[in-house]
Amino acid sequence: MSEQAVQEVALRVALERAIARQSDGYDQRARQYAGQLVGTKLDKTQIRGLETLASTTDKVSDITDWLKLRVGRDSGRDRWAKEGIGRDLVNELEGLRNDAKKIAQGLGQGDPDLERQVHLRLCREFLKHLAAHFEYLKAERER
Amino acid sequence: MSELEYLLKRKQSIAARSDRWQAEAARFADRHRDLLPKRITNAQLYGLGNVVRSARRYADIERFIRHQAEKAERAGRLDVQGYWNDLKDALGKLRGEAQALLKTLPLPVETDNRQALDALHRELAGLYVQHLIAHSLYQTAGAKEN
């Protein structure tokens, strides 16, 4: 294995570790959102839809656009627009950019797109926690 | 560069630009918030979204926007005409972005440069419009909440 290849692997490992560490730190906040979301008329299909979108898209903007559209269309204010939950979530996800910036800077990598890609990964992690908590809390509530 | 490498690089570059242009599209919606949702309706925005999604050439998008501006002018709605003209300019500027992007993507041989540029421009315009529609609806909902 060449030295460059070894460096690439080391960087990848460091990146995965940093993302995993950050992800663990999101668990409680995601649980709070899930707690609010179970108080809306949203069901698990919609939350899963958001999680699936996040895990398949290559753009952070696709995730926030999706949420913005749902907030905009919720004229009954009993789903994504209820008590500002959708708006808070948009801000939360956009705010993860700061964490992504720190991780990218910490790795001292020259890739100009790294911060954006880390941001996307962090959004996926956050929404993964949120979807899991939502399903759990929803099931508890329906029991 | 192989066709696959080219396509992957193109996809990644478009994603990066789309994320970067989201804030600019949101600013555009913010600058024109007084027109939403009565002068520029949600139906008009959805119509724009449909045209952008189905357009085969960038000129189709431009024609639709020009038509909207002309209709507004005939109805004496100069503010609405201004909206469509501003949008035409904003999307037109993305051609420069598409040109710069194309230079960083060595095209596989036998690719028609003009067609590749137009396709890229159309794609960037589509993503800009996606951000614009999402933010406009979001903003309108926010105005109602207040």
Amino acid occupying residue B124: L
Tokens at residue A76, please?
């009954």
pLDDT digits 0-9 by tens, A42-72: 999 999 999 999 999 999 999 999 999 999 9
What Rg value do the Cα atoms of chain A yield, rounded? 17
pLDDT digits (tens, 9 = 90+) for A90-141: 999 999 999 999 999 999 877 889 999 999 999 999 999 999 999 999 999 9
Name every chain B residue with its beta carbon within 8 A of the beta carbon of A96: none
For A109, left (φ over 0), alpha (ψ -120 to 50), or beta? Answer: beta
Distances in whole angstroms, Cα of residue B135 to Cα of each of A70, A137, B97: 11, 30, 22
Is the Cβ of A116 closer than 8 Å to some Cβ of chain B?
A: yes
- Tell me A110's DSSP state: -
- On chain B, the residues whose CB falls within 8 A of the CB of A69 are 133-134, 137-138
Cβ within 8 Å of A, B 77-116: none
- Render pLDDT for B24-72 as a digit per residue (tens, 0 to 9): 999 999 999 999 999 999 999 999 999 999 999 999 999 999 999 999 9
| pLDDT of the residue at B1 | 59
Q: For residue B85, give the amino acid letter.
A: N
Please state the ipTM of this predicted complex.
Answer: 0.93
Indicate the residue of A61, A69, A71 with minimum beta-carbon distance to B19.
Answer: A61
Q: How far is CA B30 from CA A88, B48, B132, B133, in A?
A: 19, 18, 10, 12
> What distance in Å separates the CA atoms of residue B19 and residue B61, rounded to the nearest whole number?
21
pLDDT of residue A14: 95
DSSP for chain B? Answer: --HHHHHHHHHHHHHHHHHHHHHHHHHHHHHTGGGTTTTS-HHHHHHHHHHHHH-SSHHHHHHHHHHHHHHHHHTT-HHHHHHHHHHHHHHHHHHHHHHHHHHHS-PPTT--HHHHHHHHHHHHHHHHHHHHHHHHHHHHHHHHH-
